[in-house]
Structure 1
Amino acid sequence: MPFPAKSKGTTSRRTADSRTGNVATIALLAALALIFSYVEAIIPYNPGVPGIKLGIANIVALVALYQLSAKHAAAVNVIRILIAGLLFNGVFGALYSLGGAAISLLGMVALKKTDQFSIAGISMAGGVLHNMGQLLVAALLLQDSQIFLYFPVLLFSGMIAGIVIGLGAAVICRRLEHL
């Protein structure tokens, strides 16, 4: 929220403070998302189908999207994915995640602007779009379109994970509104 300027020096200081606050907020949220990525990486979870996971770090990006902005959510996602790629997933894991996150965030931002969907509905769409983005990256890297035969499996897993993540984010957003 902008404050009325008292002098030219005060305005530039407030702008610098705002930028510093944004950087600090993004860094804290990215660190939280990275912790969630780590927790998910160490939990022994094998649904029997490769590539399926809950994606609990996406709660942070979804809360950032609703409480801050799409730019904040994008920054949190990119930072988390790059660092998690270096630590846990490798280069190809990071590429798949970046592709999925980009398409997912674009879709969620577009749906959010309509004011027609709940946070859980938008998250569900984000989960499905994330899986679609990962398949697109895989198809490009492998130069094989048959990878899309795997989409029905990822469709349902993305829907379920998206709903769970969306419900969690909705609870967090409601609690943050009371602060």
Structure 2
Amino acid sequence: MRNTRKLVLISVLISLSVVLGIIDKYISSFILPGAISARLGLANIVIMLGIIYLNFKDVLLIAILKSVLIGFILGRFDVFIYGFSGTMLSFFGMWMLYKFTKDWFSLIGISLIGAILHIIGQVTAVHWLLISDIGYFSLYFIVNPFLIPASMITGVMIGILTKSLIRYVDNSGIFKR
């Protein structure tokens, strides 16, 4: 891919992931008002497509900037830390699964594991940031057993959406394999 074309493509993918992340926040707030950090994970469609079509550095850049920009736009440092922690663990896990075990795991399975890793990353961040705030920390672990099954459902949905988009993306010629 030529440098200008690649730069534009990565910029568009970063923008798309941020827009999907913000839409996701508002959809989730409407469906589950008051839910602690419950999201559908729409921006992960972009990350998964990047894992399939782009190199490691480019997808890592997309994942990092998605988290930074969403945290900045939503104006909350805790949103950034939790989102970044979950995104990084999820990204590395999905990337390794896709690159090394894609013959054993479907995209749906990889997305499912990525969703679980995202929750684990968030819980780890909560542990490190809120260990002194026992009330909130305890609340998070009470809510967490509900987040993992929910993330499994949304992980499967995101995997199905990503898998269905691949045919269209391949036909579009946006990514040249």
TM-score band w.r.t. shorter chain: 0.7 to 0.9
Aligned length: 163
**TM-score normalised per structure 2:** 0.83
CA distance in 2, matches of 1:47, 1:162: 20
Structure 1 residues 167 and 54, CA gap change in structure 2 (3 angstroms): same
| Structure exhibiting the larger radius of gyration computed from Cα positions | 1
Tell me the distance in 1 between the aligned counterparts of 2:143 and 2:56.
Answer: 29
CA distance in 2, matches of 1:148, 1:41: 21
In structure 1, C-alpha distance between the alignment counterparts of 2:75 and 2:101, rounded to whole Å:
34
Q: In the aligned structure 2, how far is the partner of 1:166 from the partner of 1:50? A: 23
Measure, in 2, the Cα distance between the counterparts of 1:158 and 1:73: 22
Superimposed CA distance per residue, residues 122-170 of structure 1 (whole angstroms, 9 cap, x where no aligned partner): 0010000001000100100012675445432221111111111111111
Are the aligned partners of 1:124 and 1:159 in contact in 2 as well (CA < 8 Å)?
A: yes
What secondary structure sits across from 2:41 in the alignment? coil
Partner of 1:131 in structure 2?
119
Tell whether the 8 Å contact from 1:132 to 1:151 is kept in structure 2 after alignment. Answer: no
TM-score, structure 1 normalization: 0.82
Q: Which among 158, 161, 164 is matched to residue 168 of structure 1?
A: 161
Is 1:78 paired with 2:64? Answer: yes
Moved over 3 A (4+): 144-151
Identity of aligned residues (%): 28
Deviation at 1:22, TM superposition (A): 2.6
Deviations for 1:50-93, whole angstroms, at most 9, x for unmatched residues? 22110111111111111223322221121121111111151110
Aligned to 1:57: 43
1:151 aligned residue: 144
1:14 equivalent in structure 2:
none
Q: Gaps (5+ residues) in structure 2?
A: 173-177
In angstroms, what is the RMSD of aligned CA positions?
2.0
Contact 2:68 2:80 in 1 (8 A): yes
Q: Residue 41 of structure 1: SS of its match in structure 2?
A: helix
In the other structure, the counterpart of 2:20 is 36
